Structures are given as structure tokens and as C-alpha cells.
Amino acid sequence: MTWNLTSLLVAMLPLVTLAGIPALADPPATTLPKPGQVVTDHVRGEVILSAKVQFPEDKPCINDFGQRVQAFAGCATAAGGDAKMAGYFVFLVDVETEKVHQALIDLGCKPLVHCSIQEGRNRGGLNAETKPDDYLQGDPVVLSVFWQNEQGKWVERAYEYFVTESVAIDGQETRIEKPWTPHFVFHGSGAIHTSGTGCIACPCDCPGGIIADNRFPIYDPKPMVKFDMAKAPPAGTQVYVRIRVISSRSE
């Protein structure tokens, strides 16, 4: 029997799938969480969360530029009850914030500088007396969201993809739009200090959640951002939030 290159490649396709390389229609995760569950993948160093899309059209930064402390991805429950900020989230996760926090800890992700909301209000703002400990700190993380579209194909987008940032130039008189470029760290404050907000990844350095953009000190200044709902799947869509960790390790 004579084999040409095309025949050989066709014959190998089933073997490629069996070897663990997913086909285009397969989900981009080894295991998907059922509602109310968290998947912790120690091999890939990531946490996968089940969530639904909601459209908080009357909240800040939704389809319009503004400032907010509330995350765009957060939990429906926290601190033993309904999350205080659940109505602000676009991606509403169906487990408690404390479970997400513990899953990240189990992966070796370490919070370094954390505080309560009350303490944060006393330490916030950028001024001549601002110190490094006035920034929430911890191991860096990367977030993305994935879902199955109407054609049955899986789509994944970085958390930053949905948001545009506006920055001032020329002495605050002129503003330009730019890609959102947060620096997300796992500080764990919302779980450690039982804030009850439900926030997972806040768009500023806010101690109410467990992950924050710490480009600026606690609370202020806040970046000017806009979440574009046209980039998200329709309200009610089942999505999955992926958090990949960059854990500190001993030498």
C-alpha cells in the first residue's frame, strides 16, 4: 500500500484528537464547572468559574465612560449572603467569593498587601506621602471569559477585551481612548476582611474584591473606563471565567 503525504495526515487526525489536542468545537478547558462548582486545575495553574451574563444598564461604566469600584465579574453570593454588588456585574458567577479566593490560594497564589474597605478609605489616594503599602499587592493573575456561540463554536476573550479606557492629556483638557491595560493582582482583601461585595476583579485598586488593578494606589485615582456590552454575549448566556495565576515560588 502506497501512502502520500495527504493520506498520512488524514489518517493521523484521529490520533491527534486522542492525544489531547482539542478539536475546534471542544471547550477550551479540560473540565467545565457545573453551576455552583469551582474547577481548580493544578496542571494548568488556573481556576474556572461558571457564570451568566447580565446587562446592568443603569450602572456606571456600562456603554459609557465613567469610574467605578465594582468589578465587571463578580459572585452572586459572598460572606454568607447575597453579594452587595451583584447588580453591578456583567459576568455573574454562581459561587461565593470565598470559594474563588480559596481556589486561588490552593493554586499557590499569594496575597501580599490587603486591607478592609474602612482601612482603605483612610489610606487611599496618590500624594507625596503615598507608600508602596498603599497599593494592594499579591501574585499577578490573568482573566478571560469563554462561551459557546450560536454556531456551537467556543469563543474566548481576555477580560480587557470588553473594556476601553479614556485618559487625559494636555493638562486634562483633551482625552483619548486607548486599550484597557490593567495590572491585576490577587490581594484577597474582600474574602480576608469579609467585605461581602462579591467583586472578583475590580477596575481600580479597590479592597472590596479579591483581585484589583493596582496601577494606582488604593481607591484613587480611578481609571476612566467603559464596558462595551456589544462585545459580550447576550444577557442570559452561560459563560466561564478563567483565572490564570502566576504564583510566587521559593528559590
> Would 251 be classed as within a structural domain?
no
> Would 4 be classed as within a structural domain?
no
> Would 8 be classed as within a structural domain?
no
> Would 114 be classed as within a structural domain?
yes
Q: Give me the domain span that covers residue 81.
A: 42-245
Question: 33 and 50 in contact (C-beta within 8 Å)?
Answer: yes
Instruction: Work out the percent of the chain whose per-residue pLDDT is above 90.
Output: 80
- 165-219: per-residue pLDDT in tens? 999 987 777 899 999 999 999 999 999 999 999 999 999 999 999 999 999 999 9
Instruction: Work out the percent of the chain whose per-residue pLDDT is above 70.
Output: 89
Beta bridge partners of residue 240, listed in sequence order: 50, 146
DSSP class of residue 211?
E
Position 22 confidence tier, pLDDT thresholds 50, 70, 90: very low
- What's the number of domains the chain is made of? 1
Which phi and psi angles does 192 have, rounded to 5°? -65, -40
- 122-179: per-residue pLDDT in tens? 988 998 999 999 999 999 999 999 999 999 999 999 999 999 999 998 777 789 999 9
Here the cell at position 138 is 499579591
- 51-73: per-residue pLDDT in tens? 999 999 999 999 999 999 999 99
Question: 245 and 143 in contact (C-beta within 8 Å)?
Answer: no
How much is the pTM? 0.87
